[in-house]
Amino acid sequence: MKKKQFAVTAAGMILTMACLLTGCGSNRIAETFSSQITETVEASTSEVTAADTEVAEQTEEEATVEETKEEETTVEETATEEIAEGSDLFTERDLTQTADLSEANYITVTDGENVSITEAGVYVLSGSAENVTVVVEAGDEDKVQLVLDGVSITNANQPCILVENADKVFLTSAEGSENSFTVSGAFTGDEDAAVFSKDDLVLNGLGTVTVSSTNDGIRSNDDVKLTGGTWNVTVSGSAIKAHDTLNVCDGVYNLYATDDGLHAEDNEDDTIGSIVIEGGTFNIQAGDDGIHATTTVTVNEGNLNIAAAEGIEATQVYINEGTINIQAADDGINAGQKSDAMSIKLEINGGALTIAMASGDTDAIDSNGDLAVNGGTIDITAQSPFDYDGNCSYTGGTIIVNGTQVDSIQSQMMGGMGGGPMGGFGGRR
């Protein structure tokens, strides 16, 4: 299926400011969301199909196939374990929204003078400056906490914060503070994000951080955890990006991106690159995917408002709870072969989903493999509400299609023509 790009304008986004409280998966955040989007159509990707594998006799070739299956199962079991762990994904310090300032170092940024941090500790940043990079190059076991207390940095072509080395870096916005990081021109190096980290990164706090960039906004070559604060990100690349895992517990995230809103991918290893959302409020406008992961996207709680070419995309997608509103030009939710280490699956077990699709060759819920609906409420406005290539089961929940409740799932093709690949019906309750 062709992927359509959204052209979005900054005037079309009304940012939501809300009060944030500590704790994973809380529902104590008030939000509003309003988006205006202008659609342009450009071909960018071709439809992904899943190949069926048949096993015949017990031969050496079959044994090789079985070994491959075992490897895939191992990856899927690991993903399932991560889903089951839930809030165990976060440490106590990840979830603590304030810093211990008893031994803090206080730094006021100055024009043209980089800040060098070489050891573990708490560092409070304040002041306004241009062409400054806060560089963290500490030990492998060092945890560094940067407390953002009214700091504003504007650079022409370099990151505002650059983590070269550390065990983990916390970006903690002080309560009531307003902070900003801006890169206004083209980046001159490989570190092409306003906040760029080569190690684990945690975003938390009780203040507000605004990020603007000509490429990515916040990026880590390792893990990213989002547990608090209000983050307003407007970028020409992806808003928040991780290589290994991107785990969310709480916070408010207003993301405006030419590419993806949330993105987890390692270009050299397709067994990693997952996103788990345990809570928080997301208002996302994206030219490509609202949420994109190589392996799995799991939504266990939270409020997601997405306007994008594709709302959510991964090899496996699990919707267990939460309130999700999607406006999309291609697929609302898509499970496709992003990783060769796992089978394709889209599973909805709970939550409240509202999906509104553009006209044409679009699918609200699209699995290039299996599809399972076991619970939740799904309200779809689309010519083609469902499309799946593998097995389909419908065992629970409520499905409303174009205003009418239905008791079965039909795989539809070519912009709403009824029937599956052979014209038959899909899963029935």
366 token code pair: 């699209």
What is the SS3 assignment for 313? strand
Cβ-count burial 35-57 (b if 16+ within 10 Å, e if not): bebeeeeeeeeeebebeeeeeee
Residues 6+ apart with CB under 8 A from 191: 158, 159, 162
Domain ranges of the chain: 1-18+34-42+237-429, 104-209
Residues 6+ apart with CB under 8 A from 44: 2, 3, 5, 288
Q: Are 408 and 394 in contact (CB under 8 A)?
A: yes
Contacts of 386 (CB under 8 A, 6+ apart): 363, 364, 365, 366, 371, 392, 409, 410, 411, 412, 426
| Structural tokens at position 291 | 């949420």
The tokens describing 1, both together, are: 């299926």
Residue 336 φ then ψ, to 5°: -135, 170
Specify the pLDDT at position 80. Answer: 41
- The reported pLDDT for the residue numbered 88 is 84
Q: State whether residue 347 is helix, strand or coil.
A: strand
**Which stretches of the chain score pLDDT less than 50?**
1-2, 4, 8-22, 25-75, 77-86, 414-426, 428
pLDDT of residue 87: 58
Distance CA 123, CA 350 (A): 42
What's the gap between Cα 312 and its chain centre? 8
Q: How does DSSP classify residue 2?
A: P
Model pLDDT, residue 30: 33
CA quadruple 232, 238, 242, 247: dihedral positive or negative? Answer: positive
Q: Pairing between strand 115-117 and 34-40? A: unpaired
d(CA 97, CA 19) in angstroms, rounded, equals 13
Tokens matching residue 17: 């400011």
- Which stretch of DSSP H or E encloses residue 72? helix 60-85
Length of the chain: 429
Cα-Cα-Cα-Cα dihedral sign, residues 101, 153, 232, 362: negative
Is residue 323 a contact partner of residue 54, using CB atoms and an 8 Å limit? no
C-alpha dihedral, 381 to 382 to 383 to 389, nearest 10°:
-130
Q: Any idea what DSSP says for residue 102? A: T
pLDDT of residue 51: 35
CB 127 within 8 A of CB 153: no
For residue 190, give both structure tokens.
């490989």
Other C-beta atoms within 10 Å of 66: how many?
12
How far apart, in whole angstroms, are the C-alpha atoms of residue 26 and residue 286?
25
